[in-house]
Amino acid sequence: MKQTRLVITSMGAVTPIGIGVREFWDNLIAGKCGVAPITRFDASDMEVRIAAEVTMYDPAKYLPKNLIRESDPFMQYAYIAALEALGDGALPAESGRTGIVMGTSMSGISTIAATQEQLTCLTKKRVGARFIPKVLGNVAAAKIAIAKGIQGPSLTVSTACSSGGDALATAAMLLLAGEADAVVTVGSESILCPLVVHSLTNTRALSHRNDEPQKASRPFDAGRDGFVIGEGGGALVLETEEHARRRGAQILAELLGWANNSDAYHVTEPRADGRIAAVCMEKALERAGITADQVDYINAHGTGTKAGDIAETAAIRQVFGEHPPLVSSTKGATGHMMGAGGVTEAMICILAMQHGILPPTLNLDIPDPACDLDYIAKQARRQETSICMSNAFGFGGQNSSIILKKYIP
């Protein structure tokens, strides 16, 4: 029986360091950092006052007025990224054979928080009729489907910070099950509001380097003190190879393997030994039909938390032994984009293979002794790669691992 190959044919990105795939990649490789003081709301009296916002963003440049009014920022980022990915590719959407899978961790939390604050403070209690569709996670996919006539399967995945990676896995399963020929896979997040920042501050998850925002996100560095909230969106069009070639699409990479599992350990802390995350990576390798020594590069989850970076390093050591591949975390540049990260970081792997350049781990001055891999510190490195892995781990013990390969017909 002929094996069905799955391929990525186009991409779109909205990030704190660039809108559009080209700008995102160029700034990432140049070492640009998107972390700065929060501008979305007044954070002057808060313990944490920094984030990686999509600051160069003018919604009116990309979206019709009614969509701006009726959409939470996470929906807007998803919509713009998807439109870039779809471009003029003319997917046969109305056939019902094109689907969409959305990954998001907290959906419209910023709109929910702002609406509740207004409801509490205002004398005249009024909530807009569009409030519910403005905050629902699946409506992001619905708006894209409406704009492009996508009539196939539509699913929304919410597995905390692994949502984007799991959206890709879900899209792959739809294709292999014969439910679709192509799937627009989107990850998007915007959680910037006082409610979320206060909560994450109280869990001691966030960096407090308010006076040095550009140096705050420090994956694997001995001086790291937590992650930085990021936001944005990413989109990939995933298709069967047969379908992509039949319609003459440019093929960017092959999705070779994927896996998901659960630590079954703690709601917010990873297993210190990284054992179950290692199993996730091993399952992805098994599905891909390759051995560990064939992986050239890992885009790590690498958020910059004390426990998380150590656990991920331990997991990589368990899978790859004494000769692990090159590793970097791009969250030093983008912050932690939550549900968007799994998609944009898979995109980074594809771009790395295309350009023969691996992105750097910013702010890695002195590696934690427990984090002893080659993390491509500070500057991008020229290196040809053929197979890459992207990890995404989330609250609840969610683990996701994606394996991508340079496409060879």
Residue 44 CB partners (closer than 8 Å, separation 6+): none
- Bridge partners of 13? 234
Dist CA 87 CA 393 (whole Å) = 30
Structure tokens at 139: 């409506």
φ and ψ at residue 88, rounded to 5 degrees? -110, 30
SS3 of the chain: helix, strand, coil, percent, to 5: 35, 20, 40
Start-end of H helices in 265-340: 275-288, 306-320, 331-334
Q: Tell me the three state secondary structure of residue 162.
A: coil
Q: How far is CA 246 from CA 9, 302, 342, in A?
A: 12, 39, 28
Dist CA 14 CA 103 (whole Å) = 15
Question: Strands 297-299 and 326-328, how do they pair?
Answer: parallel
The residue count of the chain comes to 409
Q: Tell me the three state secondary structure of residue 378.
A: coil
- Bridge partners of 392? 400
Residue 144 CB partners (closer than 8 Å, separation 6+): 78, 79, 82, 83, 100, 150, 184, 186
Report which residue type is found at 77. Answer: Y
**Catalytic site positions:** 161, 301, 336
Q: Tell me the three state secondary structure of residue 223.
A: coil
Dist CA 64 CA 363 (whole Å) = 39
Residue 252 CB partners (closer than 8 Å, separation 6+): 7, 8, 9, 10, 11, 350, 354, 407
Considering only CA atoms, give the Rg of the chain: 20
Task: Give the H or E element holding residue 148.
Answer: helix 137-148
Report which residue type is found at 34. Answer: G
Dist CA 102 CA 157 (whole Å) = 6
